Amino acid sequence: MFWLRDEVVDPQHISISRRSEIISEFAELNQKGTVVICGGESLMNPERFYPVTNKCKDLGLKCLTVTNGTMITESSHAERMINEGASEIVVSLNSHLPEQHDYTRGVVGSFDIATNAIRLLLDARVKLNRPDVLIYVSGIVSEQNYRELDAFHDFVLTDLKADKLDMHFLQPTFGAIPSMTEDKFYRNNIIKDYEELFRIIADCDNKYNLNLNPEWLHVGLIYHRSIKNNADAGAGWGGMGTEVPICKSFERNLIVYLFGVARLCFSQAFQGTLLIKYGDMKHFWQSNDALRESMSVCKKYCGISACAEKKE
């Protein structure tokens, strides 16, 4: 639904210079941290995208961005991305089968666009001799594709030759409109046979040497088992939640919105703070034990996106 909306450009959005200050303060907090540029499609705004990636380079910070590939259609686009863009470039691809990916994206031809972007990026990396830039595929694992995860891994790693297939489990529809009484896509596409799912993932782990973190597998099992036992997938974000808390966002994420508000997760249910001046980020991160305690008992289904690391 977001693609149907006009882009919002608000004069109250934090300026490029203020974003640079915030990134500098983050670097002081954690020089080994990663700046993640979230979607929609951030490459639609190169004048706002590249100042962030270049600032990260200047500070020696890792930077990760996700793209659907629509803005990387020529070699020149890919070469700029390799030279000036993120140190980890993640292209969204939900299947090795064009019809499945196109269905989940809602646009016919999305598969060709995404795979073309991956190949252009890989070619540019070789041409520019930049093996330090990592190129990943991000796949949403759902009822549509989990049975073909072996073939999906083979396509990504052998055919495309990307560095990794980063698996993510389906979550409820993000930003659901208030009038939406039932999350039909989530209900229809969440994986029902979770035991089969994790048998297949274990086989892929062994076959492709993925070194998956057992804790990530454990919380993934809890997530799918909870949804099946609760029988509430149609409720989406309003579901009963996982049987135990699995989210670790408050330990590992610091999210800054375009208006300069910082939060420890994307949920508006937990208090954020406006970053007005240098030092506000450090104060927010280091002085919120009570907030973290309240977040530690949250069982919302979105917790699967911020649980354990996937790699051991």
13-42 pLDDT per residue, tens: 899 999 999 999 999 999 999 999 987 788
DSSP string, the chain: -GGGSPPP--TTSPPHHHHHHHHHHHHHH-TT-EEEE-SS-GGG-HHHHHHHHHHHHHHT-EEEEEE-STT--SHHHHHHHHHHS-SEEEEE---SSHHHHHHHHTSTTHHHHHHHHHHHHHHHHHHTT-TTSEEEEEEEE-TTTGGGHHHHHHIIIIII--SEEEEEE--SPTT--TT----HHHHHHS-S-HHHHHHHHHHHHHHHT--B-HHHHHHHHHHHHHHHHHT-GGGGGGS---SS----HHHH--EE-TTSEEESSS-TTS--EE--STTHHHHHHHS-HHHHHHHTT---GGGGGGSS-SB-
Work out the percent of the chain whose per-residue pLDDT is above 90. 85
CA–CA separation, 118 and 99 (whole Å): 18
Average pLDDT of the segment spanning 177-188: 84
Conformational region of residue 298, where left means phi above 0, alpha means psi within -120 to 50, and beta covers everything else: beta
Q: Does domain 1-169 correspond to CATH entry 3.90.1580.10?
A: no
Q: What pLDDT is recorded for position 312?
A: 63
Average pLDDT of the segment spanning 174-183: 74
Conformational region of residue 209, where left means phi above 0, alpha means psi within -120 to 50, and beta covers everything else: left
pLDDT at residue 1 tops 70? no
Q: What pLDDT is recorded for position 310?
A: 77
201-257 pLDDT per residue, tens: 999 999 999 999 999 999 999 999 999 999 999 999 899 999 999 999 999 999 999
To the question of pTM greater than 0.75 for the whole model, the response is: yes
Question: Domains of the chain: which residue ranges?
Answer: 1-169, 182-245+297-312
244-297 pLDDT per residue, tens: 999 999 999 999 999 999 999 988 889 999 999 999 999 999 999 999 999 999
pLDDT at residue 177 tops 70? no
